[in-house]
Amino acid sequence: MSEPWVLHVDLDQFIAAVEVLRRPELAGKAVLIGGRGDPTERAVVSTASYEARAYGVGSGMPLRIAARKVPDAVILPVDQDAYLAASEEVMSVLHSQPGATVQVLGWDEAFVGVQTKDPEAYARQLQHAVLEQTRLHCSVGVGDTLVRAKVATSFGKPAGVFRLTEDNWLDVMGSRPTIELWGVGTKVSRRLAKLGIGTVAELAAANPDDLVPEFGPKMGPWYAQLGRGDGARIVDDTPWVARGHSRETTFQRDLTEPGQIDDAVKELAARVLEDVAAEGRPVIGLTLKVRYAPFFTKTYARKIPETSDPAEVLSRTLELVAKIEPDRPIRLLGLRAEMTMPDDSRQGHTPTRSGW
C-alpha cells in the first residue's frame, strides 16, 4: 500500500561538480572555488571537492588558508550564473518525476513529496533521472518528516540513499551531538549543553517546558520536537518568498577611517535597497555584519518601524554603524534588510537557512 514519504535531494559537491563538468580534466583533483580564484586576495571558500575536503578544507574557510592546506589544489573563481543554470536543470528534472511535489531549498537541494510503496526505489529512480539528464550526482534522504529526511541525507553521501523514520531515529541519532541536527548550530548546541543536554536522545527526552526559560515559549518546545525528529510531514510547493535581502563586501585592504566605513555601508545599503524595492515589501529590521581584522565577526541588529522609505532605511543603518568598535580595522561589511512577509504562518515550521 502506498504511503506518503518525504525525500530530501542534495546534490553532491554541487559547485565543484558543475566546474568538473565544464573542465573534465579536473575530475579526481582537489578543487577549491572562491572569490575571484586568487588566494592572495581576501575571499572564502564557496565549496571544495571531496578530494580537497580530505585535507580539512570546508566552505567559509579563508581561501588563503585553504590554499596552504592543499598546495596542489586547482583554485577557480565563483561563477554564479553557471551554478544557477545547472540548479534550474536539476529542479526541472525533480518537477518532472511522477507524482512529485517539489519544495526548493536552494541551488543544490530540495524536498520531494511522493506517495509510494517503495521510497528507496523511487529515490534511486530519481537519482538516475538527475544523473542522466544533468550528469550530476545527488544523495537522497528518505523520511516520514522533513527533518528526518533532511538529516538522513548526510548518511547517504555521496550518491546514496538512506532512510530515517520514527522507528530508527533514536537508534541512529540518539548518541550523536545535538549540533548534528538540522537547525541547531554551534551557539544553540552550547546553550543546550549548559542545560545538561549534549545528545539528540537527551534533547528528545527533555521536557519542552524546561527549555522555555532559555529559548522562549516558541523555540523551546520546537527544539524538543527537533530532538525527536518530529515536525512537518507535508512538502509545501508554495513558491518561496525571501524574508530579507543581504549584501556583503570583503575589502582587499582593511577599512580604518570612519569616512571609509560610512561610504562602504552607504554603497551596501544602496544595493540592498535595490533588491528590496524589487520585492515591493516594507523593511522591518536591519542587521549589520562586521568582520574585524584578523577574522572576528560580529553582528549588530535592530527592528525598525515598518518603512519603504530608502532615506529612512539608510538613516537607521547608519545608526547601527555607530555601534562599530572604534580603532579596529575592518575586513568585511555586510548588510541585511528584513521585510514583511505576505503570510508569516509558513515561517518557523522547518529550519531555514540564514541570510548569511
DSSP β-ladder status, 161-164 and 138-143: parallel
In one-letter notation, the amino acid at residue 297 is T
CA torsion 76-79-82-88 (nearest 10°) is: 120
Sheet of strand 283-292, all strands in order from the earlier edge strand to the far edge: 244-255, 330-339, 283-292, 296-307
CA distance 157 to 219: 30
- In the annotation, is 312 catalytic? no
Which set of grid coordinates corresponds to residue 174? 540518539
342: exposed, middle or buried (Cβ count in 10 Å: 0-12, 13-18, 19+): exposed
Those residues with Cβ within 8 angstroms of residue 49's Cβ, 6 or more apart along the chain or in another chain: 13, 16, 20, 26, 29, 30, 31, 32
CA distance 46 to 250: 14
91: exposed, middle or buried (Cβ count in 10 Å: 0-12, 13-18, 19+): middle
Q: What are phi and psi of 65, to 5 degrees?
A: -70, -40
**Contact 308/283 with Cβ under 8 angstroms?**
yes
CA distance 259 to 230: 50
What's the CA angle centered on 182, arms 178 and 187, to 5 degrees?
55
Selecting among 19, 51, 109, 202, the annotated active-site residue is 109
Closest CA to 140 of 79, 204, 93, 184: 93
CA torsion 33-38-42-47 (nearest 10°) is: 10
Annotated catalytic residues are: 109
